[in-house]
Amino acid sequence: MEQFDLVIIGGGSAGMSAAIESYNLGIKDILILEKNNYLGGILNQCIHNGFGLQEFKEELTGPEFMSRFSKKVNELGIKYELNTNVLGISKDKVVSYSNKDGYKEVKAKAIILTTGCYERNAGAISLGGDRPSGVYTAGQAQLYLNNYGKLVGKKVFILGSGDIGLIMARRMSLEGAKVLGVAELMPYSAGLNRNIVQCLQDFNIPLYLSHTVKEVIGPKGHLEKIVLAQVDERFNFIPGTEQEFECDTLLLSVGLVPNVDLLSKLGIHFAKSRGPVVNQYMETELEGLFASGNVLHVHDLVDYVVSEAREAAQGVYLFLNNKLPNTNEKSLVKPLKGVGYVVPNYIQKIDNDDKLIFKFRVAKPYKNINLVIKEGDKVIKKIFKLAIIPSEMEIVKIDKKLFELNGEDITVEVEEK
């Protein structure tokens, strides 16, 4: 069986960034396995701009951003295989896959899983009514329009205010479709403020907060209309608030879920982010198996994806050089009041100067609060926030020396004034 020091599963931004960083750290025996016939993952269809402000200090489109990484991968001569579907990972880190050459297995000393995320669909949100054609996830519609030039409809309603839905509201409007509105179940938007402005307000598209689609109507097999209704604080429909919209297309932008299928047989645990439980180097409970990018927790910014992938590469470097002991000496990291999830899920006691990086999201919008990070009862860091929303991930770097790391829980919580 062929052997590699590092096998990377998924050649999107996370996978490429992890590969480049690993190479630069001296790990040169790398294989990237990618399902599509191109590198770059989801960014290939994100033709809008706004990427790379952190990474390159300039505003790039998705294809421009990812081409800088694929160019580097090619320049360094890092080995990759396209049109290759990874089928499984075993506990002893044998990766099995299939491509035009048939079924194959390779043995890896270390693995980084960077398989991204998938979009929740109509089934996942138990959408009421018929199941006609004309209902797409926003990402599907984005792929059809941007990569194949196919506009999926002319009269569009969008359910969910996630960024991809907002971006598609603008994109389809520009291509001549009429976008009738965007409905959001929560009383606040799931997308970034800038997208509300430049994708909805610029095109006079109404945003219906605390509203959802009650019924999809399309008895003849194609979508004819949707019934929108308002919900109360418990998300029950408020009778009498129903409105009908005639439309040929319903886009769903109702959330992204880490694509963790390949981990299901390994007996490892999953976190509130729905990705695997990891330590500060993104190592899962299976020694030598790392995860980063959207498969670990859903990121809204690719810049954060590529920096997280570098942290995973640092972890692989330590692991391959026997500097990442798999001890039971660990301190759990727990999200408390007001915090949805935190990455990492535990900190291992390791003797080096690396900083600890905590990434988390609040569970709902807050104003004038402190974010408090504690170890046991001791406050390690307090950060004041004028306003904070779930769609913006918080990243806090803390000097490891400030922690004892003697097994007491580390907690992250919102402190209201």
Ligand X SMILES: Cc1cc2nc3c(=O)[nH]c(=O)nc-3n(C[C@H](O)[C@H](O)[C@H](O)COP(=O)(O)OP(=O)(O)OC[C@H]3O[C@@H](n4cnc5c(N)ncnc54)[C@H](O)[C@@H]3O)c2cc1C
Q: Which residues make up the interface to another protein (CB under 8 A)?
A: 47-50, 53, 59, 61, 63-64, 67, 145-149, 174-175, 192-194, 196-198, 202, 300-301, 387, 392
Q: Which of 274, 301, 288, 306 is nearest to 124 (CA)?
A: 274
Size of the site for ligand X (CB under 6 A): 37
Report the alpha-carbon distance of residue 213 to residue 226 in Å, rounded: 7
Based on the shown chain and the rule CB under 6 A, indicate whether residue 139 belongs to the binding site for ligand X: yes
Q: Using an 8 Å Cβ cutoff, are 415 and 381 in contact?
A: no
Q: Between 196 and 296, whose beta carbon lies closer to another protein? A: 196
- Selection from another protein, ligand X, none that 406 binds (CB < 5 to 8 A by kind) is none
Based on the shown chain and the rule CB under 6 A, indicate whether residue 307 belongs to the binding site for ligand X: no
305, 343, 372, 412: residue in contact with ligand X (rule CB under 6 A): 305
Question: Which parts of 62-101 interact with ligand X (CB under 6 A)?
Answer: 85-86
Q: Residue 349 contacts by C-beta under 8 Å, 6 or more apart in sequence?
A: 327, 329, 330, 331, 405
21, 34, 184, 248: residue in contact with ligand X (rule CB under 6 A): 34
If 0-12 CB within 10 Å is exposed, 13-18 middle and 19+ buried, where does residue 204 land?
A: exposed
CB of 225 to another protein, least distance (A): 27
CB of 105 to ligand X, least distance (A): 14
Which listed range, 110-118, 228-236, 282-290, 396-404, lies at the site for ligand X (CB under 6 A)? 110-118
Q: Between 12 and 344, whose beta carbon lies closer to another protein? A: 12
Based on the shown chain and the rule CB under 6 A, indicate whether residue 218 belongs to the binding site for ligand X: no
Q: Between 86 and 182, whose beta carbon lies closer to another protein? A: 182
- Selection from ligand X, another protein, none that 41 binds (CB < 5 to 8 A by kind) is ligand X
Centre a 10 Å sphere on the Cβ of residue 104 and count the other Cβ atoms it contains. 16
Q: Residue 209 contacts by C-beta under 8 Å, 6 or more apart in sequence?
A: 184, 186, 187, 188, 189
Based on the shown chain and the rule CB under 6 A, indicate whether residue 115 belongs to the binding site for ligand X: yes
φ, ψ of residue 130 in degrees (nearest 5): -75, 170
Q: Using an 8 Å Cβ cutoff, are 9 and 115 in contact?
A: yes
Structure tokens at 136: 């797409």
Based on the shown chain and the rule CB under 6 A, indicate whether residue 249 belongs to the binding site for ligand X: no
Report the alpha-carbon distance of residue 348 to residue 327 in Å, rounded: 8
Q: Between 62 and 288, whose beta carbon lies closer to another protein? A: 62
